[in-house]
Amino acid sequence: MRNVTFKSLLAALILPASMAQAEDVISANVSLTTDYIFRGQSQTGEHGAIQGGFDYSADSGFYAGAWASTVDFGSSAQAEVDFYGGYAGSFSESVDYDIGYIYYSYTGESALDYQELTFSVSLSNLSLGLVYSDEYLGEGGESFVYLSSGYSISLPQEYALDLHLGFNSADDMDITFDGTGDDSYIDWSAVVTKNFGGADFSLGYYGTDIGSGNELADDRLVFAISKSL
């Protein structure tokens, strides 16, 4: 889940009019990327993707949204559409938390649909996350846990650097990540972002410790342009 988001049209469809108060925020975004990387692996056969979404966030901390991207798994799946919601709040003045739910759906191949529960905490520029799925990657999938950490650094000239490290673990799944029997792997990324003319330009380096049995998990550079609407 995601890298960009979707929020005004969806909010108008799923939320009662009484919830659309002045302090609530509705937004939308769109992006172009040279590759759609999810947890270290290409979701587009190492090709580009068009992505976008809508988001609604309430002053109470509740949020909901949807996000979509083109995908290419070499199958009948044409697009990934994610629906999500949750609640964000604070334990203290310096520690924030987020509890959420995500449903991943795939147009053209609904057998891949699955859901995840998410929890994260953040302290200043550091964030820690936990994701759990009871049926990862749809039919045939088993329980899956994803642990992640991230750190954001402000650079000179208003550049930003986001560092990420994640641990993927699939328990007794019928599929493996590298074709050799391993059911866990580590992914990482370092992404530099700069805003020019109201659009965000980013260049990221993504990698995993998955072996040569999975070319979609090779180390790679990804360039993206995104715009909030």
For the segment 73-84, the average pLDDT, to the nearest whole number, is: 96
The alpha carbon of residue 183 and the mean position of all alpha carbons in its chain are separated, in whole angstroms, by: 21
| pLDDT at residue 141, as a whole number | 65
Three-state secondary-structure class, residue 153: strand
Q: Extract the tokens encoding 208.
A: 């995993």
Q: Check pLDDT > 70 for residue 108.
A: yes
- Please give the model's pTM, rounded to 2 decimal places: 0.86
For residue 217, pLDDT beyond 70: yes
- Predicted confidence at residue 69, as pLDDT, reads 98
Percent of the chain with pLDDT over 70: 84
- Residue 115: pLDDT over 70: yes
Q: What is the pLDDT of residue 177?
A: 57
Domain 8-228: CATH architecture, name and number where available: Beta Barrel (2.40)
Q: Residue 174: its pLDDT value, please?
A: 47
- pLDDT bin (cut points 50, 70, 90) of residue 6 is very low
Question: From residue 142, how far is each of 105, 112, 134, 173, 176 by CA, in Å?
Answer: 17, 12, 6, 5, 11
- Yes or no: say if 192 and 202 are a contact pair by the CB < 8 Å rule: yes
> pLDDT digit string (tens) for 116-149?
999 999 999 999 999 999 888 776 667 899 999 9
Whole-number average pLDDT of the chain: 88
Q: Per-residue pLDDT for 17 more than 80?
A: no
Q: Give the residue, 82 or 14, on which the prediction is more confident.
A: 82
Residues 41-77 pLDDT 10s: 999 999 999 999 999 999 999 999 999 999 999 999 9
pLDDT of the residue at 21:
53
Q: Where are the domains of the chain?
A: 8-228
Quick one: pLDDT at residue 222? 98
